[in-house]
Amino acid sequence: MALPERPERELTEVDVSRLAREISRNLKPLALTLEQMNISSDQWDRVQRNPIFHQRLVEEAAVWSASTKKSIEDRISTKAAVMIEELLIDAVGMVQNDQLPGVARVQSLQFLANMAKLGDKAVRDDGSGRVQININIGGQRVRFEKETAEPLTIEGTAEVSP
């Protein structure tokens, strides 16, 4: 059964400004941006002829490319956040991959806990070599414990040559 077609919603000035911001940042392909914002090709054609869009595009490009310390920090932070978001699926795959060493899986889980703002309260390291991760989901507590191998000690003597 096919769903009935919905008429296009009219784009607002907020939509146009957001589109200008996304395009000026150039963090993802235009086609993906249009798809994510649910903008049809007809709407895109109309937006490109819109003087408000062109004004916003110039403004957003100026803000994004400014060379102040704050602008540079914001650009780096935004780009890093986009990259991290794209890698979340890979991190979940690493946690679930029992072929990877435990340390890599635990580090991936720590990363995900940090992204979920579970952070320091979820992962504790008391220096004993034992890793314990507690995750509370609703009223249920999930605990992951891992004993690590004893640290490798390398013994020997140093000799100094004249």
- pLDDT, one tens digit per residue, over 81-93 is 878 887 888 888 8
Tokens of 15: 């939509």
Q: What local confidence, expressed as pLDDT, does residue 108 receive?
A: 84
Strands 140-147 vs 123-124: parallel, antiparallel or unpaired: unpaired
DSSP code at position 98? T
Q: For the segment 47-78, what is each residue's pLDDT rounded down to a tens digit? A: 999 999 999 999 989 988 888 888 888 888 88
Burial class (CB in 10 A: 0-12, 13-18, 19+), 118: middle
Amino acid in position 16: V
Tell me which H or E stretch contains 147: strand 140-147
**Please, how many CA atoms are within 13 Å of residue 151, restricted to the half-sphere of its CB?**
7
DSSP code at position 127? S
Tokens of 162: 């004249």
Answer whether 100's CB lies under 8 Å from 94's CB: yes
Q: Which residues lie closer than 8 Å to 116 by C-beta, 6 or more apart?
A: none
Q: What local confidence, expressed as pLDDT, does residue 23 receive?
A: 94
pTM: 0.51
| First-to-final CA distance of the chain | 88
Q: What local confidence, expressed as pLDDT, does residue 3 receive?
A: 47
Residue 145 pLDDT greater than 80, yes or no: no
Strand-pairing partners, residue 140, are 137
Q: For the segment 24-44, what is each residue's pLDDT rounded down to a tens digit? A: 998 889 999 999 899 999 999
Phi first, then psi: what are they for 142, rounded to 5°?
Answer: -110, 130
Tokens 């579970």 identify what position? 118
